[in-house]
Chains A and B, each alone.
Chain A
Amino acid sequence: MAQPVELPSKIEVGPVIDEGHSLASVSDKIAGIVIKRKITIGWVFGFLIAFGFLQLLMAGATWLFVKGVGVWGINIPVGWGFAIVNFVWWIGIGHAGTLISAILLLLNQSWRNAINRFAEAMTIFAVMCAGMFPVLHTGRPWLAYWLLPYPNTMWLWPQFRSPLVWDVFAVSTYLTISAVFWYVGLIPDFATLRDSSKQLWKARIYGMLAMGWRSSARHWQRYEKAALLLAGLSTPLVVSVHTVVSFDFAVAQLPGWHTTIFPPYFVAGAIYSGFAMVLTLMIPVRTFYGLEDIITIRHLNNMAKVTLATGMIVGYGYMFEAFFGYYSADIYEKFMIWNRMTGPYAPFYYCLIFCNVITPQFLWIKKLRTTPLILWCISIVVNIGMWLERFVIVITSLHRDFLPSSWGMYWPTRWDWAVYLGTLGLFMTCIFLFVRVLPMITIFELRMLLPGARVKEPVAQ
């Protein structure tokens, strides 16, 4: 048994999986969390808190439907408030999943294996939260289905020139693909769970979900194909979704919105916040469930690097927004950026600069990258920063646009907050359930990382 494990030479900080794991131990460890482990007080406690917040969403939405969007702080000129801010924020967070599972798969980044399942789950939940807002924020949500092109008795189609219609397609596609990808990835593990579950009813449920997976070579070969295809499919989505979302702004002609830099700058921001959120969730989970040996320091380190990189791109975006404002020689653009920096919302702007540009610079230091606690704090700050970014973009451009006579202000009401915190509740609730009922780490993929699995590797290449 105890044969020495020789590590791949290119590993810098620690292995992708710690020593002493065997094929069996991995399965047991991860499946165990779902199958054997009893429900702990900590989990119940956390779940209840999350569930409590979820109730805020219920209350907020109910009141919203009863009274109308007027319960929020929005007005003329600021027609979009928290709803759109949150929408963009959540969609952004949803990006890490696809990126990790798809792009890193194509790039053959083995370290992703430990985290992709979790990231994908997070993606789906985030997109769920995001998806709610476009509906909630309409004045007559019960008619939101009019955004879908379907043959109707009015002989009317949606306005295909409107970015909001593009959103409908972009987001729904994204949700579908991510969900399928996620599910396909789960199949082998469902099988594992099926086989390792003691009670028949559990076995049945996992059995159905496993769709009769028997780990035959044929299954595996097809699985690989499917995974690759899906990866190929969803890779462009990583770029497309947030590009389309950015069109909501870029296509409009408001100062500060009407700019070509938005797509790349939004995508970068999305991945940025996505990775930050993965870190925010992953670090506690790995501690609570003692997965330090599977989600190793190296993972954190890599994710930190991605965060830093995208953070830099975002910072570059800010710089150029300002530059364009100045260089455009357009009185409205000029004023917009000036107003952003010195106007009533200036504090939010500087706060965002601190969170998104200053903070990530700490990640240059390896010591900090590899200290989970600090990394966790930084990731939180980044999340906040990215939310502020959306707030600043949406509000500052709207509240003072072209005619000074129509300038106004926007301040959220308690119902804005209720719905926002509510979606956080929904998100966390889903996460809590997920870690309980599904293997949060891809068992079989982890197995591949094991020395035992690596034997055939040269042949495969």
Chain B
Amino acid sequence: MSENSDSLNLTSIRTKLDKAKGAGYWRSLDELASVEGFKEFLHREFPRQASEWIDDEGRRNFLKIMGASLALAGLSACTRQPTEFIMPYVEAPEQAIPGKPLFYATAFPVSGIASPVLVEAHEFRPTKVEGNPEHPASMGATDVQAQASILGLYDPDRLQTVNYIGEVRSYPSFLSSFVNILARQQGNQGSGIRILTETVTSPTLYGQMQDVLKLYPDAKWYQWEPTGHGRRMGSQIAFGKYLNPIYKFDQADVVLSIDGNFLGNGPGGVRYARDFVSKRIMRDGATTQSRFYAVETTPTSTGCKADHRQAIKPSEVSGFLQGLTASLNNSAASGPLANSKFYSALVKDLQAAKGRSIVIAGEDQSPEVHARVHFINEMLGNNGHTVVFTQSLEAKPVDQWADLQALVTDLHSGQVELLVIMGGNPVYSAPPELNLRGAIQMAKTRVRLGEHDDETSEICQWNIPMAHAYEAWSDAPAYDGTVSIIQPLIAPLYGGKSAHELLSAFTETPEKSSYLSVRDYWTAKHTGADFETWWKHSVHDGFVRDSAPPAVSASASLAIPRTAIGPAAGSGYDISFHSDPYVLDGRYANNAWLQELPRPITRLTWDNAVLVSRKTAAELKVEDEDRVAIDSNGHTVWGAITVLPGQPDGSIALSLGYGRTRSGRAGNGAGFDVYPLRSASNPYYARGASVRKLGEKFKLAPVQHHFAMEGREPVHAGTIDEFKQDPYFSEKKSELPPKGLTIFPDTWKYEGYAWGMAIDLTACVGCSACVVACQAENNIAVVGKEQVLNTREMHWIRIDRYYKGEPDEPDMYFQPVACVQCEQAPCEVVCPVAATETDAEGLNNMVYNRCVGTRYCSNNCPYKVRRFNFLLFSDWETESTKLQKNPDVTVRSRGVMEKCSYCVQRINYAKITAEKEDRKVRDGEIVPACAAACPSQAIMFGDLNDPKSRVTQWKRHSLNYSLLAELNTRPRTTYLTEIRNPNPEVGKSEKDS
């Protein structure tokens, strides 16, 4: 606990609260409200935050959460309500009507690229993230990381105090000693100062950095991040300048992806998914589809959507592209895959679609590959049409590997007096041969601004807690360069500081708030009259209108040096490195939602694995969960095998971001660290790795164990030709029982509203944003690896993944499954206490406080979408995460069943609003969390009794079908058959479909 009460923070509050358990809980909360320091903690930066603690509702929500345990734990006919208290405002704030959530536009930057979001706040307590519908990069949708960011905000393992070599200090005391250090530097122009940041895109931050460098001309600023390098340097190689490619998938008829996982992931992923899908869906009478080829070093969720997918070893990618370049020049085809049907078809299609095609390289591919791809786009005349370029989004694009090298050299020269590391976690992610850990310790004073007390903080003397994106002001560009003003939603929970504030510490205004820094920058930048209104609008909208940089024309040259590709082939295996789709380079390793979110292909949770093809597995005589040792780059790592069809033979795929040792309760010990295998010279892939079987097993926790459809067809899929021949081909796949075939009187007519949902499988790209959105909206518990091993995960919506076709190169399909709200629900009739009942609007009401937990309903549910609290899964302990809970949804306790409710809290909210305005609920007024988050708009919800509602339109479509229709459950959620557009010349997926 901090010595001076002015910096009382949640830690101390927690320690106070820990003393009081159970019934004493809220009593002690009230006592707290009267502690002097506490009040200041509230009023420090955000006066309105105070209300969150001392107003009636804010407290009510605490009680809701606390009380729910009591209620759910033992409600019976004679439960006595405990005495509860109400602490009204002293003065009510302007905009807030207690009990009604407010939405604030802001942005969540992931390695510099902003996802524009609206954050929902209940009594000024951020609880949920939605996309910003007005922003071109979001259009109302979000990606997985943005959805999970809200948990990151409340992460109890975040660094909670300023500390110096382990002992707690206050920020002022840091500033005072920092001044002294700087004083010594003023003499020598700051030649002893080194600042290491992640990729900087924030205009304000860049401005501040320049000021600092003005003050200390000899100081050096380096940027480094473990991934995203190829993209940056690719354009440099191809065009001689740093450019930012933007892809127009809505104009592309043919798409070739080289390891590109652009659907719902990475910069612009949300928008790309939307655009790409717009050329694929059959809903609105479309009769054509774009064609999508994928060439991949490991299966990605994007590759699963390809009409033709081809596995390729990472070391062959470059050769393949060279061959392709040649072929497109109509010279002899050569290189890998060159004499496959796939290849010839691809070449034909590309040539036929000049200016209407896109070739895109993956984030994890090398600069060389990116450069070649740029060149191919040039040849195909795509640049300027389907691919446009703006100047780089980075404030100061550099060769980051060179930067890192330079830093290490500086450090070894021993001239570094002060090293400031802002964000990132280089000690964990840098290649071992640089021995960054050792090097950094050569700097005299090491200051770290970080969200966690992680591997890097360990070796820094000064550790400053870093403010979360929702805790401080800043700005950042979206994928297209449109700048977002990032406004805080809540005062820093742990007294965190932003990079802006830390940079101010270098200047003569060391205490300058991030708000002033950002505002000052834009005041200076703003041209034209009336800054105030402009500022208000920009903050309100969440982005600065028309701030996207203009497109620049560029022509690619083919002076592309082949990057070193390690030892010659033949000996050993290739390794391809991929940043994990969820925890990325490891920065979100401590986000339990992301850890427990099944990886789209492997369906693994809580671990990464050694991915090998069936053939390779046979060679190595290994099977799933065998532990192996992988030697490469002079280092060895140990991991567990997962045999994955679609993985290229002779190549291993490893995902970065695991094996963290100091990330926190969720990330520590999850998976294994593969960074040691990456060499600084070629961090994209390795060759000649050897793999040794260790003869021991390691338990992996996938949520799905069977991927074959076993002759049943949960996923209806077909080709566009089949669809043209017979629009109703899919309907014929399922046998429908005659209407009214039921022993229970089938008399109920659903008048009024009849809620229903349709999911377009063609549109679903398997990105899993819906799963996290649902988890955030409905207070869904995280259960941990042990429980997942026993298939007790709690996700209300899951994304099933199926194989079809030949075992080694199968087609893969995604299918989101949540409670389908059967009209004739098998769960309903078997519940002995009527805790689950179909209501007048066709919703299957699951009532937690009535449930006694026989689990009969789950047994009888053919879709197995019900989730049971086998133990006390909900977290009643962690104070900070309680703040995230949605007050409109009961927090379930032990021993009750739960399931998807179509977000009934949103339905009720809309219905009440409509009733108060004496009207019916409008189509689109209710959007469940999953549908709202979906980047590709694959989920549609609405009233089936309204003939004009969009969901009715969807369901009228010939491709509409019900899952397990033959069981006569009459599900309210139906699916639209997945349609693909394979090239007849390849003649693959006609097989066994």
Q: Please say whether the chains A and B touch (CB closer than 8 A).
A: yes
Residues on the B chain within 8 Å of A74, using CB: 855, 870
Instruction: Tell me, in angstroms, the Cα distance from A162 to B827 when the chains sit together.
Output: 10
State how many angstroms separate the Cβ of B730 from the closest Cβ of chain A: 18
Task: Determine if B851 and A139 form an interchain contact, defined as CB atoms under 8 angstroms apart.
Answer: yes
Task: Determine if A76 and B866 form an interchain contact, defined as CB atoms under 8 angstroms apart.
Answer: yes
Which of A92-100, A358-366, A404-412 touches B? A404-412
A335 at the interface (CB under 8 A from B): yes
B852 at the interface (CB under 8 A from A): yes
Task: Determine if A402 and B802 form an interchain contact, defined as CB atoms under 8 angstroms apart.
Answer: no
Q: Which residue of A lies closest to B968 (CB)?
A: A253
Task: Determine if A146 and B852 form an interchain contact, defined as CB atoms under 8 angstroms apart.
Answer: yes
A401 at the interface (CB under 8 A from B): yes
B423 at the interface (CB under 8 A from A): no
A228 at the interface (CB under 8 A from B): no
Instruction: Tell me, in angstroms, the Cα distance from A401 to B851 when the chains sit together.
Output: 24
Given contacts A138-B853, A405-B714, A405-B802, contact A159 B833 (CB under 8 A): yes
State how many angstroms separate the Cβ of B720 from the closest Cβ of chain A: 26
A430 at the interface (CB under 8 A from B): no
Interface residues of B in 705-724 (CB under 8 A from A): 705-712, 714
Most chain B CB within 10 A, of A69, A252, A403, is at A403
A13 at the interface (CB under 8 A from B): no
Task: Determine if A79 and B856 form an interchain contact, defined as CB atoms under 8 angstroms apart.
Answer: yes
Given contacts A76-B864, A253-B860, A405-B800, contact A68 B872 (CB under 8 A): yes
Q: Which residue of B lies closest to A334 (CB)?
A: B711
From the candidates B705, B853, B869, name the one contacting A407 in the complex (CB within 8 A): B705
Residues on the A chain within 8 Å of B831, using CB: 159, 162
Instruction: Tell me, in angstroms, the Cα distance from A408 to B790 when the chains sit together.
Output: 8
Instruction: Tell me, in angstroms, the Cα distance from A73 to B863 when the chains sit together.
Output: 21
From the candidates A76, A158, A252, name the one contacting B833 in the complex (CB within 8 A): A158
State how many angstroms separate the Cβ of A168 from the closest Cβ of chain B: 8
Which of A43-51, A148-156, A298-306 touches B? A148-156
Given contacts A76-B867, A153-B77, contact A165 B832 (CB under 8 A): yes
Task: Determine if B710 and A335 form an interchain contact, defined as CB atoms under 8 angstroms apart.
Answer: yes
Instruction: Tell me, in angstroms, the Cα distance from A406 to B705 when the chains sit together.
Output: 8
Given contacts A68-B870, A159-B829, A405-B800, contact A79 B714 (CB under 8 A): no
Residues on the A chain within 8 Å of B791, using CB: 75-77, 408
B840-854 CB contact bits vs A (8 Å, 1 = yes)? 000000000011111
A: contact size bracket:
35 or more
Given contacts A77-B858, A331-B712, A404-B708, contact A139 B868 (CB under 8 A): yes
Instruction: Tell me, in angstroms, the Cα distance from A302 to B60 when the chains sit together.
Output: 71
A251 at the interface (CB under 8 A from B): yes
Task: Determine if A407 and B859 form an interchain contact, defined as CB atoms under 8 angstroms apart.
Answer: no
Task: Determine if A402 and B834 form an interchain contact, defined as CB atoms under 8 angstroms apart.
Answer: no
Q: Which residue of B lies closest to A167 (CB)?
A: B832
Task: Determine if B872 and A75 form an interchain contact, defined as CB atoms under 8 angstroms apart.
Answer: no
Task: Determine if B896 and A140 form an interchain contact, defined as CB atoms under 8 angstroms apart.
Answer: yes
B895 at the interface (CB under 8 A from A): yes
Given contacts A139-B869, A158-B833, A335-B710, contact A69 B853 (CB under 8 A): yes
State how many angstroms separate the Cβ of B186 from the closest Cβ of chain A: 63
Interface residues of A in 206-259 (CB under 8 A from B): 251-254
A5-47 CB contact bits vs B (8 Å, 1 = yes)? 0000000000000000000000000000000000000000000
Task: Determine if A159 and B871 form an interchain contact, defined as CB atoms under 8 angstroms apart.
Answer: no
A340 at the interface (CB under 8 A from B): no
Residues on the A chain within 8 Å of B708, using CB: 404
Task: Determine if B832 and A158 form an interchain contact, defined as CB atoms under 8 angstroms apart.
Answer: yes
Residues on the B chain within 8 Å of A138, using CB: 852-854, 895
B566 at the interface (CB under 8 A from A): no
Q: Which residue of A lies closest to B871 (CB)?
A: A70
State how many angstroms separate the Cβ of B742 from the closest Cβ of chain A: 12
From the candidates B75, B77, B864, B869, name the one contacting A77 in the complex (CB within 8 A): B864
Task: Determine if A139 and B790 form an interchain contact, defined as CB atoms under 8 angstroms apart.
Answer: no
Interface residues of A in 110-159 (CB under 8 A from B): 137-144, 146-147, 152-154, 156-159
Q: Which residue of A lies closest to B792 (CB)?
A: A75
Instruction: Tell me, in angstroms, the Cα distance from A143 to B73 when the chains sit together.
Output: 10
Task: Determine if A404 and B710 form an interchain contact, defined as CB atoms under 8 angstroms apart.
Answer: yes
Task: Determine if A331 and B711 form an interchain contact, defined as CB atoms under 8 angstroms apart.
Answer: yes
Task: Determine if A152 and B870 form an interchain contact, defined as CB atoms under 8 angstroms apart.
Answer: no
Interface size on B, residues (CB 8 A): 60
Residues on the B chain within 8 Å of A152, using CB: 77
Most chain A CB within 10 A, of B706, B853, B863, is at B853
Residues on the B chain within 8 Å of A156, using CB: 833-834, 850
A161 at the interface (CB under 8 A from B): yes
Instruction: Tell me, in angstroms, the Cα distance from A433 to B853 when the chains sit together.
Output: 35
Instruction: Tell me, in angstroms, the Cα distance from A406 to B864 when the chains sit together.
Output: 6
A322 at the interface (CB under 8 A from B): no
Q: Which residue of A lies closest to B834 (CB)?
A: A159
B634 at the interface (CB under 8 A from A): no
From the candidates B817, B856, B869, name the one contacting A164 in the complex (CB within 8 A): B856
Task: Determine if A80 and B859 form an interchain contact, defined as CB atoms under 8 angstroms apart.
Answer: yes
Interface residues of A in 139-194 (CB under 8 A from B): 139-144, 146-147, 152-154, 156-159, 161-165, 168
Residues on the B chain within 8 Å of A332, using CB: 712
B826 at the interface (CB under 8 A from A): yes
Q: Which residue of A lies closest to B836 (CB)?
A: A159
Most chain A CB within 10 A, of B74, B744, B860, B897, is at B860
A456 at the interface (CB under 8 A from B): no
B398 at the interface (CB under 8 A from A): no
Instruction: Tell me, in angstroms, the Cα distance from A69 to B896 when the chains sit together.
Output: 11
Task: Determine if B852 and A144 form an interchain contact, defined as CB atoms under 8 angstroms apart.
Answer: yes
Instruction: Tell me, in angstroms, the Cα distance from A157 to B831 when the chains sit together.
Output: 12
State how many angstroms separate the Cβ of A253 from the closest Cβ of chain B: 5
Residues on the B chain within 8 Å of A91, using CB: none
From the candidates A75, A162, A401, A403, name the one contacting B832 in the complex (CB within 8 A): A162
Residues on the B chain within 8 Å of A159, using CB: 828-834
Instruction: Tell me, in angstroms, the Cα distance from A408 to B826 when the chains sit together.
Output: 20
B178-219 CB contact bits vs A (8 Å, 1 = yes)? 000000000000000000000000000000000000000000
Task: Determine if B706 and A158 form an interchain contact, defined as CB atoms under 8 angstroms apart.
Answer: no
Residues on the A chain within 8 Å of B895, using CB: 68-69, 138-140
Given contacts A76-B792, A139-B869, contact A254 B860 (CB under 8 A): yes
Given contacts A68-B871, A146-B833, A331-B712, contact A164 B859 (CB under 8 A): no
Q: Which residue of A lies closest to B783 (CB)?
A: A70
Residues on the B chain within 8 Å of A75, using CB: 790-792, 870
Task: Determine if A404 and B852 form an interchain contact, defined as CB atoms under 8 angstroms apart.
Answer: no
Q: Which residue of B lies closest to A164 (CB)?
A: B832
Instruction: Tell me, in angstroms, the Cα distance from A168 to B712 when the chains sit together.
Output: 37
Given contacts A74-B870, A76-B864, contact A403 B714 (CB under 8 A): yes
Task: Determine if A253 and B712 form an interchain contact, defined as CB atoms under 8 angstroms apart.
Answer: no
Instruction: Tell me, in angstroms, the Cα distance from A419 to B711 when the chains sit together.
Output: 40
State how many angstroms separate the Cβ of A84 from the closest Cβ of chain B: 9
B406 at the interface (CB under 8 A from A): no
Task: Determine if A404 and B709 form an interchain contact, defined as CB atoms under 8 angstroms apart.
Answer: yes
Residues on the B chain within 8 Å of A76, using CB: 791-792, 858, 864, 866-868
Task: Determine if B870 and A70 form an interchain contact, defined as CB atoms under 8 angstroms apart.
Answer: yes
Task: Determine if B832 and A79 form an interchain contact, defined as CB atoms under 8 angstroms apart.
Answer: no
A398 at the interface (CB under 8 A from B): yes
Task: Determine if A251 and B853 form an interchain contact, defined as CB atoms under 8 angstroms apart.
Answer: no
Residues on the B chain within 8 Å of A335, using CB: 710
Given contacts A143-B76, A407-B706, contact A158 B834 (CB under 8 A): yes
> What are 11 A-to-B residue pairs whose CB atoms are below 8 Å?
A71-B871, A75-B870, A76-B858, A79-B858, A80-B855, A139-B896, A146-B832, A146-B833, A159-B830, A332-B712, A405-B801
Given contacts A68-B869, A140-B853, A159-B832, list 13 more A-B pairs with CB under 8 A.
Answer: A76-B858, A138-B854, A139-B853, A139-B897, A140-B896, A141-B852, A161-B744, A161-B829, A402-B862, A402-B864, A405-B706, A405-B802, A406-B864
Query: Lowest 5 A-B CB distances belong to which pairs?
Result: A139-B853, A139-B895, A70-B870, A79-B855, A70-B871
Residues of B in contact with A (beta carbons under 8 Å apart): 74-77, 704-712, 714, 744, 787, 790-792, 798, 800-802, 815, 817, 826, 828-834, 850-856, 858-860, 862-864, 866-872, 894-897, 963-964, 967
